[in-house]
Amino acid sequence: MRISRLAFLALALTAFAAGCGSSGSKAPEIVTFQGPSSVSCSSGGGTQTVSFDYETKNAEAVDPEIDGQAVGAQAGYDPGSGTMNFPYVCPGPHTLTISATGNNQTVSKSARVTSTGSAAGKPEIVTFDGPSTVSCTGTETKTVSFQYETTNATTVDPEIDGQAVGAQAGYDPGSGTMNFPYVCPGPHTVTISAGGANGQTASKSATVEPEGGGAATPQILEFNGPDVASCGTAGDTVTLSYSYRAKNATAVSPEIDGQNPGAQAGYNPVHGVMRFNYICPGPHTLTITAFGKNNTSASAGVEFDENNRVTGSTSSGTVTAQ
């Protein structure tokens, strides 16, 4: 009887230790993320609250995002389950995302929510005209000016290579001249970003090259996203969001395992958030390709293994993304 009890205790301790070891390495998982596919917007626009029920496993924290941007300060959400509230600025559409973090890993799941009814018009950039080349000497800084005109815009701001330009006098949202500090030799991509009354945005870009410099090769400056796909069962589809920045690109597009994922809204060639529909389980390779003039291109990608974890990366052309 004594030997039997000792054997039982040894087996119990072994099982307990094994259980503790395996649970510590589990990635967070988003089990459910459910809410409405549309919201009613009045003719006056405004902000609606859209609620999504969620449930997770192995998560230490959960956070909401709208269109790839973190939602402002809110009371902390229960990491296991609850109702997540999103401030939906009419008229939309918007992509609502839950991000779950645990064991130094982050996964996310998204849903597209459209609107019914009407609201204030989306901002539009009618014209954005300026030089395609600039005369440069050494590393001097030149001022490059672009004429612009917009409709339905309440604000306009300048960007260079996807980054906001430092403090400048506020620009008239309707029309005017936008000045960009151009650091030689370049080339640089200059962008006007217009914001509307209901939180919608529009942008337009142009590449400015040094005189005699020829067409510049596109570069991928950033391609960052989760290193784990939160898969439940085989056949599940998880939306993975990757932020990106590119330079000298006229267009960017996503690929999964070398295939274009089909019709998507056109991506901004300078910066934005690229979304991939990841079908569980892996392996899969997610890639961004930036296209430039004269049939030039650059690409960067991440490789997921059969356990839905990033195990490597791919690149071609000029890539400086970390």
Right CATH for 124-210 from 3.40.190.80, 2.60.40.10, 1.10.3720.10, 3.40.50.11540: 2.60.40.10
For the chain, domain boundaries: 29-116, 124-210, 219-319
pLDDT at 84 over 70: yes
Q: How far apart are CA 270 and CA 292, in angstroms?
A: 12
Class (C level, CATH) for 219-319: mainly beta
What is the DSSP annotation of 224-260?
A: E--SB----STT-EEEEEEEEEEES-SEEEEEETTB-
Which among 2-6, 211-215, 254-258, 266-270 has the top mean pLDDT? Answer: 254-258
pLDDT band at 17 (very low <50, low <70, confident <90, very high): very low
Q: How far apart are CA 306 and CA 258, in angstroms?
A: 17
Class (C level, CATH) for 29-116: mainly beta
Name the residue with tokens 């999103």.
86
Share of the chain above pLDDT 70, in %: 82
What average pLDDT does the chain have?
Answer: 83
Pick 216 or 313 by higher pLDDT. 313
Residues in the chain: 322
pLDDT band at 138 (very low <50, low <70, confident <90, very high): confident
One-letter amino acid of 304: F
From the centroid of its chain, how far is CA 128? 25
